[in-house]
Every structure is written in structure tokens, then in C-alpha cells.
Amino acid sequence: MSNDERYPVGSVRTTFRIVEALEQRGTAGVTELAEEIGLSKSSVHKHLTTLESLDYVVRDEGTYRLGFRFLGVGNRVRNRSELVSIAKPAIENLSRTAGSVTNLMVAEHGYGVYAYRAGEQFETSSYLPPVGGRVYLHATAGGKAILSQFSDEEVETVLDRRGLPSLTEKTITDEQALRRELRSVRDRGLAFERGEHLPSVQCVAAPVTASGRPVGAISVSGSIDQMSGKKLEEDLAGLVVSTANAIEVTLLRR
Amino acid sequence: MSNDERYPVGSVRTTFRIVEALEQRGTAGVTELAEEIGLSKSSVHKHLTTLESLDYVVRDEGTYRLGFRFLGVGNRVRNRSELVSIAKPAIENLSRTAGSVTNLMVAEHGYGVYAYRAGEQFETSSYLPPVGGRVYLHATAGGKAILSQFSDEEVETVLDRRGLPSLTEKTITDEQALRRELRSVRDRGLAFERGEHLPSVQCVAAPVTASGRPVGAISVSGSIDQMSGKKLEEDLAGLVVSTANAIEVTLLRR
DNA sequence: GAGGACCGTTTCCTGATAGCGAACGATTGG
DNA sequence: CCAATCGTTCGCTATCAGGAAACGGTCCTC
């Protein structure tokens, strides 16, 4: 076992390597997984047997796949979050008035995670990161909205961990440029995303804070031909900010 | 570690014990978890550190909670399922025409799992099992619809594993009575649930099969005062059956 | 403000075990 | 019909998962 300081229980790391390989492939066999992970067949088999007994993996005629139990855990995590339950009706409203996809993003481990989304039916053309999916904070409107409320040191920690990878030709990859952008976001209370994450996706977001700390961000996204110019920069921007404010007020009154 | 044949990698079982304890509590400390699981504080701490490095757990000021990463895994599992992607628009339609909550249930490890739900806004009063939640097959309309397509031996396997626990005073707890009920469900292609799972919930479901095997069930649920008599037994029943049939046809044409 | 109780964390040790290699049936396909 | 490949089983052994105890910090309490 790789005895990294960060993974004191090596076999847990192994198991989640297998889980993540299964997550990517959808369905896979023992040999296939063993080769991918670089483990012996027998070890992989032991892990799969254990995971199956725990109901996290389903054995289907000599092949394996992840079970729906993960869906249960994931939904429980989400439903326990006070922020999500408060933001849910708010962004559903926002989605209806804006006629666009709206998201709640939270930050975790230096990534942004889409915790909830409404109005998926408005976006049929372009591909959006799935709910629960992790994205880079520096390349998304919601991510920049959250980062803008972080201290300089906290931003530094995120950059050290995740870097500034380029996702499209418009992604901000220079740290000084990002710092400038974050100052502007902080001043306006608004973040825009213009093809920095996905080439044809535009986005506007506002941070949600509780007692001075950022707890998430509200965003509206759409394809580049759906929203631009005044609609994006004024109409949608105003809606996003007022929704974020409404959520903040409700968070206080809980 | 308990050296059960079914859990060849004991520490994986330990880790998921911790995950499930965290899932129930929402947030917990090391000592609390160690007492619950019956493990030493240092071991629990090692597991939590590992899980945090893997981004599945979040450390928040000396206390721990599950991360949203589980939501990502769960959604990926769901989105990979061909049945879900086909059933999704169908049960959304069904929900609108019926004006009720509709569900897609699949069977896993002898339990029923709600894989997808539409029209949650129609049900504000009574509590419904969450999406991803696991329920007993013998006590739910969807579960009985699925069981009705199982062979006698398969039903026996499920009963051996999960038993026939009583959930309300109307739950079927006698095996012979259940077998009779399943025959009736098979004959009609329809299953009803009248307070057998939750006292005030009524439900009607139809199985979805692919090449003779049950792959899931479509159901409509509502509180007892919303649906009963003719509405439940004729109108909704017909809609559920035709939706299930439509899904079966699409499954064939994939 | 001193004491104590509790917390999360770290350290060190040791018996249990995670991972390995090899062998075994079952299945497949040339 | 045999060769290849699959999932599975079986012992073995070096490793490590788990335990006990001590540590440093924080929060009450008196």
C-alpha cells in the first residue's frame, strides 16, 4: 500500500479507486478493473465482494456496476443541508422568471459543486456539468463569486491545490488577472462567465454569505445565443443578486 | 475486524459504517462516532482523515460531515441507467396528466429504490420516501409490481433476505397472503398500495419488463384523501399501465 | 483565573489482514 | 477441440488497521 500521510487507511483508498473506476466505466469486470488500478485480480475481487455485501455495488452476471445506494447517500447529504432547502424554492422561482437554468453552487475541497439545479428543461442544446459534478472555481461564475468572498490566503490555498488550468481559450490562467477579476466581482457583488468554462456557455452569479462567510453562489446559465448584452448584464444580473439576497435573509431568520 | 465471509476487506466495512453513521447524524465528532461504531478514537480518526483526503468527507472546525461528492457519484449512477433516461420524460408527463407524484422504482439487493421522481410539488402534506431511499418490496405498490414478475424462487430469496416486517397495520406480513396478492397483481398487471407502507399514502403501480425480466416499476402516489375509489382504481391505473407500456416499447427500440 | 473535563489529534506497538501469485472451473471463440 | 480469458478460490506473508495512552487545546465551572 502507498503509505501516504494523507491516507492512513490504505485499503479505503483502494476501495474508492475501484468505486471511481466503476463510476467512469458504468460497468466493468474484475480483470479490467485490476489492470486499471494496478492491483491483483484477487484483491479487486475481495473489494468488490465487500462492496456488494454492503449494497454499494451490484453483481450482474459476472460483471459489476455501482448500485443506487450511492444515490440515497448523495440525496441525504443534500437534503440535510439547510442552505439547499432554503435555496431550492428560491432558485426554482428564479428559473421560472428568468426562463433559464439556475444553479446553487457550493465550494468543497477547492472545487465548486453544483448542489442543486432548476429549469433544466430550458437548456437542451449545450452540455452542462451534472448536479453533484465538480468544477474549477476560477473558471465558473459561481466559483468566482465564492472566491471573491474568500480572504487572500484562502484563495491562495485553493490555487495551490487546484491550480489555474485552462479549459477554453478564455479561461483566466494568470493569478494576477484572477485577483483583479475577483476584486471587480467583490465590488459589484456579481460574477460573469463568458465561455471560460465551456466555450458556448454564458453565466452570471452572485455569492450567498452568512455572517461574512461565503456559503455558496446562485447562478443563471445559458448558451451564448440565449443570453448576452443587456439581458445578461442587467436583467439577469439583477434577478440573481436579489435572489441571493433573499436567501441570505432567510438564512438569518432560520 | 469481524472476519465474516461476506466482508473480505474488513476496513472497507468499517469505513462505510462511519459513512452511514455520518449520513444519519448529518454532522458528528470523532468520539461520538467511535462510541457509536464501537471503535477506538484513533481508528475512526484515521478513517475520517482518509475519507477527507479522498474528498468524501468534509472537516468543519473539529467536526465532520459527508461531502457533496456522494451526490456526484449518485447522480452519475442514475444518469448512466438507460431505464432512467427513458423513463424520465415519460413519468414527468404522467405526473402532469395525473396531477400527482410519480416514481420510478428499481429493485436492488432485495429492496426497492426510488430511482426517479416527478411532481414532488403535488405532495406537500405527507412524507414520501426520498429519492434514492430504500423501501421494502412487499409493502409498496412498485415493489409488489416488481415482485409479481419474479419467479417463486426469486421471491423466496427476497423474503429470506428482508423478511416481511410490518410497517403499518395494513402491511401484508403473511407469506401466503403475499403470494396470493402477487398472483392477482400479475394477472391484472397492476399493484395497489393502500396504507401498507405509510398509513395515509395510497399508490398504484405497474411493472416495466424487458425481455421477460422486470427492470422496474412506475407508480403514482398520493395521500388517501387525494386519490381513492374510481380515480385510483381506474383513471390512474390506466395511465400508469400505458406509461409503463410506452417505456417498454422505447426500451426495445433503443 | 485556576482546575478539570472533554475534545480532536498524535504516537507507538502488535496481531490481524490486505494484497499477491498461483491454481481452479466455467465460458468463449477460432 | 483446445487455447484463451474470465471470475473465483486458496494459502502465504509483509504490511498495516486498530488499540491504548499521552498530548495540546478549548470550554465550562467554581
Domain span holding position A111: 75-253
Could you tell me which residue, B3 or B203, shows the higher pLDDT?
A: B203
**Average pLDDT score, chain B:** 94
| Residue A111, phi then psi, degrees to nearest 5 | -115, 165
From A67, A86, A108, give the residue that closes a domain: A67
Q: Does B77 touch chain A (CB under 8 A)?
A: yes
- The alpha-carbon gap from A219 to the nearest alpha carbon of chain B, in Å, equals 18
Q: Do A194 and A212 share a domain, yes or no?
A: yes
Bridge partners (DSSP) of residue B118 are B102
Spatial contact of A144 and A184, defined as CB atoms under 8 Å apart: no
Average pLDDT over residues B223-250: 85
Binary contact (A16, B74; C-beta < 8 A): no
Supply angle C-alpha B27, A15, B129, rounded to 5.
45
For residue B51, list chain A residues with Cβ-Cβ distance below 8 A. 12
Please determine, for residue B118, whether its predicted confidence score (pLDDT) is greater than 50. yes
DSSP secondary structure string, chain B? ----TT-SSHHHHHHHHHHHHHHHHSSB-HHHHHHHHT--HHHHHHHHHHHHHTTSEEEETTEEEE-THHHHHHHHHHHH-HHHHHHHHHHHHHHHHHTSEEEEEEEETTEEEEEEEE-GGG--SS--PPTT-EEEGGGSHHHHHHHTTS-HHHHHHHHHHH----SSTTS---HHHHHHHHHHHHHHT-EEEESSSSTTEEEEEEEEEETTEEEEEEEEEEETTTS-HHIIIIIIHHHHHHHHHHHHHHHHH-
Q: Do B196 and B115 share a domain, yes or no?
A: yes
Indicate the number of domains in chain A: 2
The pLDDT score that the predictor gives to residue B43 is 97
Q: Is residue B134 part of a domain?
A: yes
The pLDDT score that the predictor gives to residue B235 is 84
Q: Do B57 and B85 share a domain, yes or no?
A: no
Q: Is residue A3 part of a domain?
A: no
Q: Is residue B5 part of a domain?
A: no
Three-class secondary structure assignment of B52-112: HHCCCEEEECCEEEECCHHHHHHHHHHHHCHHHHHHHHHHHHHHHHHCCEEEEEEEECCEE
Tens digits of residue pLDDT in B6-18 = 999 999 999 999 9
Compare CB distances from B12 to A23, A47, A109 and report the shortest one's residue.
A47
Q: Do A88 and A117 share a domain, yes or no?
A: yes
* Alpha carbons B244 and B141: distance in angstroms, whole number: 14
Q: Is residue B3 part of a domain?
A: no
Would you give the distance in Å from CA A187 to the centre of its chain?
Answer: 24
Are β-strands A111-118 and A101-108 bridged in parallel, bridged antiparallel, or unpaired?
A: antiparallel
B40 CA – D20 C1', rounded, Å: 9
The residue among B87, B213, B74, B135 whose CA lies nearest residue A60 is B213
Tens digits of residue pLDDT in B87-115 = 999 999 999 999 999 999 999 999 999 99
DSSP A100: S
Count of C-beta atoms within a 10 Å radius of residue A202: 25
Bridge partners (DSSP) of residue A203 are A193, A221
Interface test with B, best of A37, A40, A68 (most B CBs within 10 A): A68
Q: Do B49 and B89 share a domain, yes or no?
A: no
The pLDDT score that the predictor gives to residue B228 is 67
Tens digits of residue pLDDT in A60-117 = 888 999 999 999 999 999 999 999 999 999 999 999 999 999 999 999 999 999 999 9
* Alpha carbons B111 and A248: distance in angstroms, whole number: 40
Binary contact (B55, A108; C-beta < 8 A): yes
* 3-class SS of residue A40: coil
* Alpha carbons B247 and B1: distance in angstroms, whole number: 46
B248 CA – D22 C1', rounded, Å: 64
Q: Do B34 and B143 share a domain, yes or no?
A: no
From A67, A86, A114, give the residue that closes a domain: A67
Tens digits of residue pLDDT in B166-204 = 999 999 999 999 999 999 999 999 999 999 999 999 999
Spatial contact of B144 and B164, defined as CB atoms under 8 Å apart: no
CATH (domain of B93): 3.30.450.40
Q: Do A44 and A106 share a domain, yes or no?
A: no
Q: Do B58 and B153 share a domain, yes or no?
A: no
Chain B 130-169, CB below 8 Å of chain A: which residues? Answer: 130-134
- The alpha-carbon gap from B117 to the nearest alpha carbon of chain A, in Å, equals 13
Q: Is residue B130 part of a domain?
A: yes
Q: Is residue A237 part of a domain?
A: yes
Q: Do B115 and B50 share a domain, yes or no?
A: no
Q: Is residue B195 part of a domain?
A: yes
Which nucleotides of chain D does any protein CB come within 7 A of? 5-11, 15-22
From A67, A86, A110, give the residue that closes a domain: A67
The residue among B130, B106, B112 whose CA lies nearest residue B120 is B130
C-alpha cell belonging to residue A96? 421560472
Q: Is residue B159 part of a domain?
A: yes
Q: Do B50 and B156 share a domain, yes or no?
A: no
Interface test with A, best of B52, B73, B213 (most A CBs within 10 A): B73
Strand D lies under 7 A from the Cβ of residue B14: yes
Q: Do B213 and B133 share a domain, yes or no?
A: yes
Strand D lies under 7 A from the Cβ of residue A53: no
Spatial contact of A227 and A236, defined as CB atoms under 8 Å apart: yes
Count the helix, strand and coil residues of chain A and give each as a percent rounded to the nearest 5. 50, 20, 30
Spatial contact of B18 and B27, defined as CB atoms under 8 Å apart: no
For residue B66, list chain A residues with Cβ-Cβ distance below 8 A. 73, 76-77
Q: Do A233 and A119 share a domain, yes or no?
A: yes
Interface test with A, best of B46, B53, B76 (most A CBs within 10 A): B76
A162 CA – D16 C1', rounded, Å: 30
Length of chain A: 254
CATH (domain of B43): 1.10.10.10
